Structure 1
Amino acid sequence: MKEHNSTYNIGNAALGFRTEVERLKVQALMGWDKEFRNLKWYGLQNGMSVLELGSGPSYVTEQLVNSLPESQITALEIDRTLLDEAKNRLQHIPSSKLRFVNSSVYDTGLPDHSYDFAIARLLFLHLHNPVEAAREIYRILKPGGKLVIIDIDDGIFGAVSPNINLLPSVLQKLADHQASKGGNRYIGRELPRLLAKAGYIDIDMDTVLQHSDLHGIEGFKRQFDINRFKVFYDNGIINEEEFEQLKQASENINNSPEAYAMMTFIMACGKKPEHY
């Protein structure tokens, strides 16, 4: 198996393992209805063989199993701790419906032409070699199979009210920090060219919006938990004024009924040609 080649490691989570898993749960579930609607629009159907890449604690995996009762879902995750967490939580689901694979997205070990549909949610922003990963997924898709990438672009992050004047500078600094480690928080805008470079055709993309008035404030409370940003302040990545504005935003979202937040996610789809 190849090395991790990713900027995400739950062992380094500022909030600790259990709190980070809970954050991932809320993040996965609050926009699922919209994401699943778009996945079906891109061609996902019940009965297909479906691969989820970077499945983490498998909250999205569980939704796929429930939403596609006649499909076999494969959840691929390189982090053994996260995979064990998912296996323990979903042990009631029979292996005929759900299979777990401990492997890298760069070198899955899965056979050629074996999946109808692949989904990578909030994975590609962390990858050092996203085109290499997209090519590996291309290999294991059936002819005509599709890959959908759901990811972020901090250039169109969303909005917070009351406004955080220094949010653009904070996002830029966090993006620069992630880039220095090999990731890309602006990956959303690059997805069409990335998919094309990896050989996909019929490429399309769209956005999915999550708004606290529609999806609940809980997920946004966790996204703006000030303890997630304290490590960046402690390490000098963001300055005191930026940290104080984030702290105020966190307090507003937690305590003020007037506060709201909106986040933008990118969905991009590419197809493996029927004949290649």
Structure 2
Amino acid sequence: MAIESYQSWDQIDFRSSEDGSIESLLSSGENPWMTLGIMDNIKDETLLAEWENVLNVQTQLLAAREVEWMKSRGLGRGGRPILEIGSANGSYGQFLANSFSHLTLFGVEANPNLSAMLDLETCPENYSIVNCKVGDEPLPQHINNNFEDCVLRFVAQHVSDPLRLLRAIYEGLPKGGSLFVIEEDDALFGSYPKSAGFEAAFDIWRRVTAAGGSNSKIGRDLPRLAVEAGFSVASYEITLRNSVEAGSQFNDLFIGASRMFQMTNPSLVSMKEVELVTEHLSRGEGTESSVATYPQVLLHAVKR
């Protein structure tokens, strides 16, 4: 593949090659279009367990309000199956499946190590996960042309070319079909008065996602990306969830994320930093004397 075929140099993740050079990247056969940021090479069982913990806490803390928001904007109204892209371990998809028990939920996940964590014994009958890199690979035949809504939760930030992914979704949706994107934007993390535990957790989050090729600041860019992909933006909201309202689960999310980030990139995050986060947040810092914020960015777009 010629170098000229890349749209821009900033789409190429040099960290994915052995020596960081463009020559090594091209000769390796890897496709820089659709790298998956810090989630791309999760294989180690201990690290997978840390990711599973974070994904489960995210679902417990955030899913109910997200699903309520999507339902209010028509998710599942047409009665056809819903496509969930980036299913990970199936934690969120199972919540969706239980919330829409009368519908079929198709989950797709790029990393087979994550999808293999789905517990088939407890999985709802209307939910399943198959492996597919949407945007690089065609949707499986039983899914293609068989869904009316698509949910994309915490996926766009990990993809090196989110516009390509959104265009693939646009092409797969029927006219009138809806895309629901849930993201975050770490520029809106904050604590006041300054919390040592949360500020350390925020710093760890920003460092590791940036170094790993994930864009955890993508939230405010979603409307532009959706429009460039061909969609009409029907609704867009930024909601600041906070530590006082959410209580201990909020702290658990950032403790778990810090542990997971340290294991993801130990050269960037020391155990001493993780211990600081754990010490402060495990004793309830932020739940009474200060407020820490986490942004939920929600976009509903329609294919006209």
Provide TM-score, normalisation by structure 1. 0.81
2:11 alignment counterpart = none
Whole-Å Cα distance in 2 between the matches of residues 232 and 16 of structure 1?
A: 7
**1:128 aligned partner, one-letter code:** S
2:280 pairs with 252, 257, 269, which one?
252
Give 1:130 deviation, angstroms.
Answer: 0.2
Alignment of 1:126-275 (within 5 A): 126-159=158-191, 163-164=195-196, 167=199, 171=203, 175=206, 178-225=209-256, 226-228=258-260, 230=262, 234-235=266-267, 237=268, 244=273, 247-256=275-284, 258=288, 261-273=292-304
Note closer, same or farther for the CA distance 1:74–1:87 as it changes in structure 2 (3 Å cut).
farther
Give 1:57 deviation, angstroms.
Answer: 0.9
Give 1:122 deviation, angstroms.
Answer: 0.7
2:80 pairs with 21, 31, 48, which one?
48
1:70-121: CA deviation from partner (whole Å, max 9, x where unpaired): 1111001112122222153545x33xx2232210121242465432111111
Q: Say which is worse superposed, 150-159 or 188-197, in terms of deviation.
A: 150-159
- Give the strand-richer structure, 1 or 2: 1
What percent identity do the matched residue pairs reach? 21
Note closer, same or farther for the CA distance 1:252–1:86 as it changes in structure 2 (3 Å cut).
same
**1:163 aligned partner, one-letter code:** S
Alignment of 1:73-92 (within 5 A): 73-86=105-118, 88-91=120-123
Aligned residues of 1:6 and 1:183 also touching (Cα < 8 A): yes
What count of residue pairs does the alignment treat as equivalent?
Answer: 264
**1:37 aligned partner, one-letter code:** E
The CA RMSD measured in Å over matched residues stands at: 3.2
Note closer, same or farther for the CA distance 1:231–1:50 as it changes in structure 2 (3 Å cut).
closer
Q: Say which is worse superposed, 20-29 or 208-217, in terms of deviation.
A: 208-217
Structure 2: tracts of 5 or more residues without a match? 1-29
Aligned residues of 1:142 and 1:272 also touching (Cα < 8 A): yes
SS in 1 for 2:66: helix
Whole-Å Cα distance in 2 between the matches of residues 170 and 204 of structure 1?
A: 28
Aligned residues of 1:10 and 1:17 also touching (Cα < 8 A): no
Whole-Å Cα distance in 1 between the matches of residues 277 and 85 of structure 2?
A: 33
